[in-house]
Structure 1
């Protein structure tokens, strides 16, 4: 009898064990990330001891609950185990903890499709993954979470996470459909949040707002800026909503938070920088430079001189360094910011001298190679702004500015200026054989030039005419510098044309003409090529994707890695960089008109033109050629950005095509995808609302349209941003090569400045371009912006191998990674082939800005991160 009882108990225990599913959770506790939050750690320990723990419920994807509106059946409550005693396994990332959890689960309930989690602790934690070790009949099940989970009282509904299985809306198991739809409603924001509730850090609301927080009119008229977005005068992409109240002075402008609270500007918490990312240093560094180091830099410039006396003097900030005064402001930096951040920001030697790293452009033995005409033109094809140059298709160059407003803006470059520089060709022959090119900064700048030149800036609109030589290099033919007519804009431009010269005063004037072009190119690069065309235009896609595509939607899984940290870096930019009186206005030539100018350029933005092949065709840098590998032929064969870019573009598109075709069997599948339709509508009508009526928007009705659109999004967020960002310090870290301001006009004959060109041309050059103070501030910023973070995830990589359950997409992604590795080998081979003159150039910098990976973090001048993350 006793044996029967024992056998019965054993059998019952075995049956119970068979119903148990073992799970493993990986998370990061807040007290591990924030050493100052010891009180939170103690409180959470007490909560654990008194039974206030972290609970989880599995949700069936098979069985419904009749009493809960046919939602997936919710399993019994389970708790994370050993919260107090858990230590970090050796194979996990620093700060990670792994905890066990045991679920009671009947086999008839099928495979869990989701789980809810309640955090009864005092503070939040970062939930990375949940893995169910073995679900009967299904094997292991993975949940990729990557989200901050706050105490349960912060939420109106339980946090829910889904498995790594992708579903189109129509294919979603019926028990999961309500959970899927409800989660999207929460992410869009409820009525309370829309009615004016201030968004808190734990809120998970993705919504749109105008760029109405750049100005600070309460500080005075000098700090007022127009609202960008929502009008035909100032169209702009939308930014993330923050819900701050309006200013007292202007109800249409959103109030700003104090500078010291810059890190607290609202973005959904999951969009904030990860704890390993060096952008913690970025944020501290930006605040330090602007609030503390700017006065210290000014003291340096006041005590020495705000002018560089010579190029050797300019080199001292890299070679000899400079010492900041030991003032109270600098002391406050040391008191409030960890010393390692200061050392990273401004590396010192043993004597307290602060030295910036030597930029690549002056690392070659010849420190003046950057001044050559060859390097001047090469950087238009392989520098940090290789996306402006276009082919000249008519002579003289024409203007697209409205003649009734701006008069005749046709170029004043004549045949006499260039006829003897075309290797024996006539101008018509040079145009017909695709040998003439143009770097055009005329129409972009001319409408703002009159106002810009009333500030500290004194500069010109410019056109630079170029000739393609037989060896593939460009040579400059002429530079045209233009000013608005003194009697009014309607009278056209006053222009002067300068031609190359090497010696004497003509050579000095030519060097100044190139400097004015570089000033324009630097400003256009920073405001348009970099900020507007990557950072600003991508943010609406981030918001729309989170609002309208479920985390289990295959297109969400495809695009999500390419949105990492974008909202956060853009929020910091609005707070410190592009705001009124911010760093950009202090260092770039359009000053207070900078963002307004970028709005004017957005008027002509076309989404489909952001595809690299379309961009090259539009600029006349390529022609269609079905016999060529990419369907087009480059008219400058040695165009490193385009050559490498087309390889990257093609690899991305192949990957996207393989991925999308797996989930969408036909065009009908695309058309029946309700979430996809809502996503595209939200993006067009709200995210890029000022462009909603444009006819060029794809209708998103075919697989071809879906593939092309996703390819463009990934290209812009990854490769285009990398090409225009990570070359900043290598090329512009030495300000004379890429000056950002000009402070006086070209010296005119008969003036003392013109006479000085004969005696001390370098001094005139340096007095014309960016002054010492703006140089120190500018290069301190771009040193930060050019750095890869220590936890960078590069194109072709994911932060977890279980990001999807589907085998074929995983195989396609592996193929994508292998293709990128092949491209790396090809780039290295071409950079070592002396046939290609534009890939290295006089300054001896190999073109690696589209080299997919980079070793470690820091300034490497190569590597394509997945997203606009810096």
Structure 2
């Protein structure tokens, strides 16, 4: 034991840390992640026990009457490497530490400084102090600490989970606080208030300079890091963020700007590594898994095929459905000449869930409709109103007569039910992509290989609870001479024989191309990834780690900033994967900006979303207070159970800290946080749409919505990507041909070879391989994932009442899992599994690692 023991009273502690043995850089040349990695071994330049010091800070005793900051103790050093703990996070080492600390003079510890003299950083996991309180301590707590929470007074826990660099990297010493929650102001011990404010100031930075890899600064910037191409026109690849192209903000990196002479925009210069605040990087384990999977799939799939196409040894068209199927059954052999080791490469993917039971059930009308309520994008379909039947009116030239949807056409397949009767009974629905795609179709259809429509699909709710498609309306700008005049419109009705059935399948494919692109650009990227990042930035800038709302929300931002930075580097960047393989090409992100103009935060709450789409109405006698328009709507049924359990947990947690009527308004950190979210993070939107944050009810609804977006909503639209979309015939990402017209060679080809026409209409082979590779990566759970109802530390808060409430929430989620499984086994609920016999499990909260089509991570983490 250290000689410190003989000098006076001693506080013993345990320090858990991880020395640097981590993938330092995730770079990316062309794929989602790159192949270059740098491993830094566990060797350190100095002896860690002599090069890392800790100083305790009092939470009860101030330095002087004029200086309220808590007293600071003497330096103490690590001793006795008592154990090596193997964990998912890496190799954790536990050290003893002894602090010289006279409680009568210094008070009770509430924070500590740590100083790293080594060149290498290390990851500080936690510090725990053994501190049995005396009667003097209890009186001291009562006098200085207004917090009434119930917590362990004999052990003080510091949950750190932070990288600590050399002390010269920081303007002020690194500080960590005990896990006792305090509201700001008088609720915080006077001795900690200065430290609390100073730490938030450090995290905000001063808004200047280029960020370095060790920085922990959270600031806002526009999407000026997606780049532009030499071939761009004046309005191509604009900077996103501002009045013309509104967008959520992302983390500022401070890189140098490049002026684009064509559009006058200022763009960040490219960099191999995108800055994210140091603690936002993936864990060691996740970084390793991410890299291994990415390099494996990209090296074994994309590059050989790319070379084969370059050498013209492999055509870029699938030769029938059988060749598509061989991608999952045995694989497709590639030429020996393109492999590094002289042996044939095999192009093979795991069989997607959607074809595991049946290879052709995806083609049925029932499955086509079912995936609108139980697929990867079940959040767009809405109740049809009478005025929604009429096609959007546009002036036309005289050279074309458009088709139109009429009651008579719809009633052909309505089993004798009249349209007016079905409207009155709430049995007609629509999947409508007209407004989203039509403004961009002229530009999209001028791309070399794109031929697309803006689609509207009409559906009827049958007596057995399933949906039946009635008609598909295909719209595109009509070109008359050298001008576009009005809309060319085709209405296609269901058919199961002859050339009409081929046209029907092609029409459905065009609908799914709309849906797939809207899903990826809007439902997935914009409505979860992009909109959550400003909340994460504002939380770190304005809510102290001591704040109870920080402790509530922080787990729901895990890995989000980092995965978004990786996406901006390779997926959504100019010329990146999305532009290369998805329908809108270079207009993809601009389209998402146009949709963001109408994004409303409160509409993201599941009940509000369902009501707005006409998929539910308020009904106090119904479960969860809503009556669903489609009783067997798997996403809504499962989602409402998750939503209500989540809201109950948040409501009860908030009530622990905001018992007084004006407590929310008096919380200075909370008010600054919300002001920044509204005015900076989402500052391009109208301020009046946001809650005013004056009551605890508004706080509960807001926090519930944030957590819902980051957890369950993201899970619902993410982890089904490969299970449904991995079979490209089921969810193509591109359309390259319009419906052939009679008298054309394409029509004759369609009549003679329907499969070839279908395959030439949708995503070709090379783009398919890229899409499937990325979807497989994004549909997997990491082995260290933290799911809804879990925390990465049992000591996430010292408040035992909060822990008890969270335990109840966890148990409720287990009950919900049982309910979902029971519904999936109920054969009367035909939408749960459908013709593909693929049960809807994506909202089961827990999961094993891998591609499981279940599991709700706490955050947008992949």
Q: 1:130 to 1:400 in 2, by over 3 A?
A: farther
Deviations 1:785-836 (A, max 9, x none): 0000010100000001110011111111000000000000000000001010
Deviation at 1:622, TM superposition (A): 0.6
Q: 1:217 to 1:777 in 2, by over 3 A?
A: closer
Pairing partner for 2:103 from 104, 107, 113:
107
Within the alignment, does 1:660 sit opposite 2:654 as a pair? yes
3-state SS in 1 of match to 2:627: strand
Deviation at 1:228, TM superposition (A): 0.6
Q: 1:361 to 1:222 in 2, by over 3 A?
A: farther
Deviations 1:714-760 (A, max 9, x none): 00000000000000000000000000001111111111221222221
Q: CA separation in 2, counterparts of 1:498 and 1:601? A: 27
Q: 1:533 to 1:32 in 2, by over 3 A?
A: closer
CA contact 1:55–1:77 (8 Å) conserved in 2 = yes
Q: CA separation in 2, counterparts of 1:792 and 1:358? A: 24
Deviation at 1:92, TM superposition (A): 8.5
- Superposition pairs of residues 390-789 of structure 1, within 5 angstroms: 390-397=382-389, 412-455=404-447, 456-487=449-480, 491-691=485-685, 693-789=686-782
Deviation at 1:68, TM superposition (A): 7.9
Q: Which position in structure 1 is the counterpart of 2:184? A: 169
3-state SS in 1 of match to 2:439: helix
Q: CA separation in 2, counterparts of 1:781 and 1:668? A: 49
Q: Which position in structure 2 is the counterpart of 1:298? A: 306
Q: CA separation in 1, counterparts of 2:743 and 2:562? A: 53
Q: 1:666 to 1:444 in 2, by over 3 A?
A: same
CA contact 1:215–1:224 (8 Å) conserved in 2 = no
Q: CA separation in 1, counterparts of 2:258 and 2:538? A: 27
Q: CA separation in 1, counterparts of 2:456 and 2:558? A: 38
Q: Which position in structure 1 is the counterpart of 2:141? A: none
Q: Which position in structure 1 is the counterpart of 2:140? A: none
Q: 1:36 to 1:568 in 2, by over 3 A?
A: closer
Deviations 1:652-674 (A, max 9, x none): 00000010001100331111100
CA contact 2:229–2:575 (8 Å) conserved in 1 = no
Q: Which position in structure 2 is the counterpart of 1:41? A: 43
Deviation at 1:136, TM superposition (A): 3.5
Deviation at 1:629, TM superposition (A): 2.3
Q: CA separation in 1, counterparts of 2:162 and 2:596? A: 34
Q: Which position in structure 2 is the counterpart of 1:814? A: 807
CA contact 2:89–2:285 (8 Å) conserved in 1 = no
Q: 1:245 to 1:290 in 2, by over 3 A?
A: farther
**Larger deviation, residues 71-80 vs 390-399:** 390-399
Deviation at 1:519, TM superposition (A): 0.4
Q: Which position in structure 1 is the counterpart of 2:142? A: none
CA contact 2:14–2:127 (8 Å) conserved in 1 = yes
Task: Report the count of equivalent residues.
Answer: 819
Q: Which position in structure 1 is the counterpart of 2:253? A: 242
Q: CA separation in 1, counterparts of 2:86 and 2:317? A: 54
- Superposition pairs of residues 848-863 of structure 1, within 5 angstroms: 848-855=841-848, 857-863=849-855
Q: CA separation in 1, counterparts of 2:442 and 2:38? A: 52
- Structure number with the higher helix fraction is 1
Q: CA separation in 2, counterparts of 1:400 and 1:543? A: 41
**Larger deviation, residues 129-138 vs 567-576:** 129-138
Deviation at 1:492, TM superposition (A): 3.4
Q: 1:520 to 1:141 in 2, by over 3 A?
A: same
CA contact 1:396–1:411 (8 Å) conserved in 2 = no
Deviation at 1:631, TM superposition (A): 1.5
3-state SS in 1 of match to 2:328: helix
**Larger deviation, residues 825-834 vs 312-321:** 312-321
Q: Which position in structure 2 is the counterpart of 1:337? A: none
Q: CA separation in 2, counterparts of 1:708 and 1:551? A: 21
Q: CA separation in 2, counterparts of 1:569 and 1:91? A: 23
Q: CA-atom RMSD, angstroms? A: 2.6
Q: Which position in structure 2 is the counterpart of 1:75? A: 73
Q: CA separation in 2, counterparts of 1:361 and 1:94? A: 36
Pairing partner for 2:198 from 182, 189, 201:
182
Q: 1:697 to 1:437 in 2, by over 3 A?
A: same
Within the alignment, does 1:64 sit opposite 2:74 as a pair? no
Q: 1:707 to 1:286 in 2, by over 3 A?
A: same
3-state SS in 1 of match to 2:446: coil
Q: CA separation in 1, counterparts of 2:707 and 2:619? A: 25
Within the alignment, does 1:97 sit opposite 2:93 as a pair? yes
Q: Which position in structure 2 is the counterpart of 1:9? A: none
CA contact 2:226–2:568 (8 Å) conserved in 1 = yes
Deviations 1:134-171 (A, max 9, x none): 34333110000010000111111000000110000020
Q: CA separation in 2, counterparts of 1:797 and 1:418? A: 49
Pairing partner for 1:318 from 306, 328, 331:
328
3-state SS in 1 of match to 2:237: coil
Q: Which position in structure 2 is the counterpart of 1:142? A: 157
Q: 1:58 to 1:629 in 2, by over 3 A?
A: same
Q: Which position in structure 2 is the counterpart of 1:344? A: none
Deviation at 1:30, TM superposition (A): 0.1
The TM-score normalised by the length of structure 1 is 0.90
Within the alignment, does 1:226 sit opposite 2:238 as a pair? yes
Q: Which position in structure 1 is the counterpart of 2:225? A: 213
| Uncovered stretches (5+) of structure 1, i.e. residues with no partner | 1-12, 335-347
Q: CA separation in 2, counterparts of 1:91 and 1:861? A: 25
3-state SS in 1 of match to 2:598: coil
Q: Which position in structure 2 is the counterpart of 1:117? A: 114
Deviations 1:675-733 (A, max 9, x none): 00000001100000101x33221100001000000000000000000000000000000
Within the alignment, does 1:274 sit opposite 2:283 as a pair? yes
Deviation at 1:224, TM superposition (A): 5.3
3-state SS in 2 of match to 1:838: helix
3-state SS in 2 of match to 1:747: coil
Q: 1:410 to 1:376 in 2, by over 3 A?
A: same
CA contact 1:286–1:576 (8 Å) conserved in 2 = no
**Larger deviation, residues 440-449 vs 132-141:** 132-141
Deviation at 1:67, TM superposition (A): 8.2
Q: 1:402 to 1:540 in 2, by over 3 A?
A: farther
Q: Which position in structure 1 is the counterpart of 2:145? A: none
Q: 1:309 to 1:557 in 2, by over 3 A?
A: same
CA contact 2:215–2:278 (8 Å) conserved in 1 = yes
Q: CA separation in 1, counterparts of 2:492 and 2:57? A: 73
CA contact 2:89–2:283 (8 Å) conserved in 1 = no
The TM-score normalised by the length of structure 2 is 0.91
